[in-house]
Amino acid sequence: MSFAEGILNGKSAIVTGGATGIGSYIVRRLGTLGASVGIVSRKEENLIAAVKAFKEQDGIDVVWRTGDVRDPDGIKKSFDEVVGEIGGLDILVCNAAGNFICPTEDLSWNGWRTVIEIDLNGTFNCCQAALEYLKASQDGGRIISISTTQADFGWPGAAHAGAAKSGIQNLMKTLAAEWGQYGIRANWISPGPIEGTEGVDRLIIQQGLGEEVKKNIPLGTFGEGDDIANAVVYLSSDTGKYVSGAGLAVDGATQWFRKR
Ligand code: HXC
């Protein structure tokens, strides 16, 4: 099941952290539906392997630059170079994230700071670096940030990521209000547990929580990367043109399940 062929023809997109995990599904879907896509991400070896796979398996050419979202000047330079190659920027997907499980009483200042810098400050840096290009987008630029439903509740063991993702949601609301005048839409997607991603592997499977978590998903299964990618397409194309400052949970109703 997919969208109409070529629905994103003529659009250009950057996906941060797009070499692995959920980001790679987003890149593949945007690219196969016609967008010119660039990835900015930290690890060159992941980028090279991903771009090769996109070419061989999906027939799409993806532009890449290394870049750490924590470094505003470096990110601006990488974005400028990618935009030069993909011919503009209509869609920014702020997907890069870091996370690890650690009880807050044991969390070092540097551990807290690192995740806040990647997730929250990194999203701010990318939005600022993209602004001049998104303003110039013909049909209105789109910012889509990847959050999590955990940000709407407490997140025991991930205070840093919960606070950062919650901050991202508020940042999207503010940008929707401030940058609507430029035609820019700013939204977020809150994925539930998505199978085969590093996040679920490290935070759930390796903690021995796989079966327990699955029991708490009303729809009964982990999500797929394409479930998130399809939500990105909806928000990126004309289908989502009147949606801004909004969150879309794609989580099999996990957030509403509470044991009695
Ligand atoms: C305790 C830890 C730690 C751990 C790192 N730190 N890992 N503390 N437990 N498991 C501490 C370090 O000791 C250090 O503090 C500080 O954090 C910085 O660590 P570095 O390794 O120097 O940082 P860096 O190399 O920048 O790595 C960033 C990272 C890394 C976040 C720490 O884990 C990372 O990038 N992971 C991959 C990205 C990822 O997993 N993305 C998917 C997220 S999924 P001290 O005090 O010692 O100096 C997600 C949603 C999941 O967010 C949803 C599931 C339902």
Under CATH, which architecture does the 12-190+229-249 domain have? 3-Layer(aba) Sandwich (3.40)
Helices 21-32, 225-236: axis angle to 10 degrees equals 50
**pLDDT given at position 260:** 62
| Ligand 1 centroid, distance to 229 Cα (angstroms) | 25
| Ligand 1 centroid, distance to 3 Cα (angstroms) | 36
Q: Which residue carries 């969150």 as its tokens? A: 247
List, for the chain, all residue ranges whose pLDDT scores fall below the cut of 70. Answer: 1, 259-260
Q: Measured at the alpha carbon of residue 206, what is the angle toward residues 202 and 208, in degrees to the nearest 5?
A: 135
Question: Which pTM does this prediction carry?
Answer: 0.96
Length of the chain: 260
**pLDDT given at position 50:** 98
**pLDDT given at position 258:** 74
Q: How far is residue 87's CA from residue 40's CA, in Å, rounded to a whole number?
A: 16
Q: How far is residue 171's CA from residue 164's CA, in Å, rounded to a whole number?
A: 10
**pLDDT given at position 1:** 66
Pocket of ligand 1 (CB under 6 A): 97-100, 102, 108, 110-111, 114-115, 118, 148, 161, 193, 198-200, 203
Residue 188 in contact with residue 159, Cβ under 8 Å? Answer: no
| Ligand 1 centroid, distance to 18 Cα (angstroms) | 18
How many alpha carbons lie under 13 Å from residue 26 in its C-beta half-sphere?
34
| Ligand 1 centroid, distance to 99 Cα (angstroms) | 5
Ligand 1: residue of 24, 71, 112, 114 to mutate (most ligand atoms within 8 A of CB) is 114
The residue nearest atom 2 of ligand 1, judged by CA position, is: 111
**pLDDT given at position 237:** 95
Ligand 1: atom nearest CA of 199 is: 44
Q: How far is residue 105's CA from residue 102's CA, in Å, rounded to a whole number?
A: 8
Domains of the chain, by residue range, sit at 12-190+229-249
**pLDDT given at position 238:** 93
The residue nearest atom 7 of ligand 1, judged by CA position, is: 100
- Both tokens assigned to 126: 């990318």
Q: How far is residue 106's CA from residue 157's CA, in Å, rounded to a whole number?
A: 10
Contacts within 8 Å (CB) and 24+ apart, 40-43: 40/14, 40/15, 40/16, 40/64, 40/65, 40/66, 40/67, 40/69, 40/75, 40/78, 40/79, 40/82, 40/96, 41/16, 41/17, 41/66, 41/67, 41/96, 42/17, 42/66, 42/67, 42/68, 42/96, 43/19
Ligand 1: atom nearest CA of 114 is: 18
Ligand 1: residue of 20, 100, 198 to mutate (most ligand atoms within 8 A of CB) is 100
Residue 167 in contact with residue 67, Cβ under 8 Å? Answer: no
